[in-house]
Amino acid sequence: MRSDTAADSLHPSRMPADDIVISVKNLTKTYRLFAHPGDRIKQAATLGLRRYHKEFTALRDVSLEIRKGETIGIIGRNGSGKSTLLQLISGILKPTSGIVQVKGRISALLELGAGFNPEFTGRENVYFQGALMGFTRMQMDKRFADIAAFADIGEFIDQPVRTYSSGMFVRLAFAVAVFIEPCILIVDEALAVGDAAFQRKCFAQIDRLQASGCSIVFVSHDMGAIIAHCHQALLLDRGRLALAGPPKEVVTRYLAGDMGDAPHSPRKPTPAAASPSFDPQLTPLSTIAYPTQGAEIIAPQILTLAGEPANLLRRGQEYLYSFHIRFARACASVRCGMLIKTPDGRELGGLTAVVPDMAPDATGMRYRQVFRFRCNLLPGTYFLNAGVVGADGTYLHRIIDAAMFTVMPEPDGCGTGVIDFSPLH
């Protein structure tokens, strides 16, 4: 588990050279973006004398060193360069400039589906991945039972992986990744796909790997996991390494909007519509809306008690979660609900309410539901679902991650975990 004595682990002059397993020096990755596929041919035909592309620098001049047995968490907004850094360390991408040096066997769990042949069965993919890592058939035979037991996908182990759900796939992929005895484990948000019980199993395995001296690098939007399992945290901002240090300090500064002292990484100007309680840039990027079945949820949002938009919440204060429901037909005994979750999908709780029955001539009625709740959560980022359920228990409409909010840190600190148990004042 995490140790606060690792505060200087990113400073190369303070650790033995033999202890370093990952060394990144002045790493930069720039992509050429062409507006049209034919522009590549045009540029080649002019021998590069004319440019038909724009350049996008995903990672800029990043340097760090990670030692044996250390667990590093990488955080930052979407598009900050987190996945690019992991792919460069894994050897999937080549840097535009800079050096990446890795010592030891890497096991990487990156994009869902990467490295697995969709036409192979789960069993065949396990042996295929083992062969890629240099294991013989006999060596994989000794590991297969543990891999299958950990993945726990039953008879699907002998079905093509193209038939797997995302949860089944990540179960098998993670099992392979941890049971091939890696020196370095790299995980990019894959654990967010699994259910809560499986995530607990995964973090137990991460603890086991830590104890064995495995170095672990993982990207996560779950700030609690970063604090609980990492020795150090890195904050990337627009491709630059903005902050590095103890996880709790980095996470707190990140949630407070402090992106460090990166010389070319200022925060974007706050839009005019912003307020102390609202950041327009804080929006969920993976909202899932289920098909409508006679009702449609519209405009879910969090509001202050004064009716102003809010997504930067203060613990102990009360807020409103509001959405409209547009009915395509008359409905009776309808209920609607809200649910608060952590970024890794843990359900923290919610509220339900009964929608008044509508007469048959009320087709097309629009109803507004408002839930009032007290923010009893500790600093971190959370998501809200919204749902409408019919009399028979089926969803008339449902939106996953309909809204997103951050509970802001406070100068006097707070407890640990997710729920705020401090007495009300």
Which pLDDT value is given to residue 114? 62
Residues 54, 182, single domain; the answer is yes
Report yes or no on 301 lying in a domain.
yes
Residues 244, 137, single domain; the answer is yes
Residues 248, 332, single domain; the answer is no
Which pLDDT value is given to residue 274? 61
Which of 206, 237, 255 lies at the terminal end of a domain, its last residue? 255
Q: Of 222-226, 234-238, 327-331, which range is least confident?
A: 222-226
Distance of alpha carbon 377 from alpha carbon 77, whole angstroms: 21
Residues 213, 353, single domain; the answer is no
Residues 236, 316, single domain; the answer is no
Residues 46, 135, single domain; the answer is yes
Distance of alpha carbon 184 from alpha carbon 114, whole angstroms: 18
Which pLDDT value is given to residue 233? 92
Which pLDDT value is given to residue 374? 94
Residue 112 reports pLDDT greater than 50: yes
Residue 232: partners with Cβ closer than 8 Å, 6 or more residues away: 6, 7, 9, 10, 70, 71, 72, 73, 244, 245, 246, 247
Domain that holds residue 307: 288-407
Banded model confidence at residue 158, pLDDT cuts 50, 70, 90:
very high
Banded model confidence at residue 334, pLDDT cuts 50, 70, 90:
very high
Banded model confidence at residue 339, pLDDT cuts 50, 70, 90:
very high
Helices 196-211 + 166-179 axis angle, to 10? 10
Residues 18, 111, single domain; the answer is yes
Which pLDDT value is given to residue 190? 66
Residue 373 reports pLDDT greater than 90: yes
Report yes or no on 211 lying in a domain.
yes
Residue 167 main-chain phi, psi, to 5 deg: -65, -45
Banded model confidence at residue 280, pLDDT cuts 50, 70, 90:
confident
Residue 159 reports pLDDT greater than 50: yes
Are residues 385 and 402 in contact, defined by beta-carbon separation less than 8 angstroms?
yes
Burial of residue 370, with CB atoms counted within 10 A of its CB: 0-12 exposed, 13-18 middle, 19 or more buried: exposed
Residues 235, 297, single domain; the answer is no
Residues 97, 232, single domain; the answer is yes
Residues 70, 187, single domain; the answer is yes
Residues 234, 297, single domain; the answer is no
Which pLDDT value is given to residue 262? 43
Residue 201 reports pLDDT greater than 90: no
Banded model confidence at residue 234, pLDDT cuts 50, 70, 90:
very high
Residues 376-423: pLDDT tens digits?
998 888 889 999 999 888 899 999 889 989 998 876 666 667 887 776
Residue 4 main-chain phi, psi, to 5 deg: -75, -5
Banded model confidence at residue 312, pLDDT cuts 50, 70, 90:
very high
Report yes or no on 377 lying in a domain.
yes
Report yes or no on 280 lying in a domain.
no
Distance of alpha carbon 150 from alpha carbon 200, whole angstroms: 12
The domain that holds 388 is classified in CATH as 2.70.50.60
Report yes or no on 350 lying in a domain.
yes
Which of 201, 233, 255 lies at the terminal end of a domain, its last residue? 255
| Average pLDDT estimate for 247-263 | 67
Residues 118, 23, single domain; the answer is yes
Residue 143 reports pLDDT greater than 80: yes
Compare 274 and 315 and report the one with higher pLDDT: 315
Which pLDDT value is given to residue 2? 42
- Can you read off the two tokens belonging to residue 28? 């930069």
Q: Of 91-100, 314-323, 325-334, which range is least confident?
A: 325-334
Average pLDDT, the chain: 82
Residue 270 reports pLDDT greater than 90: no
Banded model confidence at residue 192, pLDDT cuts 50, 70, 90:
low
Banded model confidence at residue 372, pLDDT cuts 50, 70, 90:
very high
Which pLDDT value is given to residue 6? 36
- How many domains does the chain contain in total? 2
Residue 91 reports pLDDT greater than 80: yes
Banded model confidence at residue 170, pLDDT cuts 50, 70, 90:
confident
The domain that holds 124 is classified in CATH as 3.40.50.300
Report yes or no on 421 lying in a domain.
no
Cα 98 → chain centroid: 27
Which pLDDT value is given to residue 27? 94
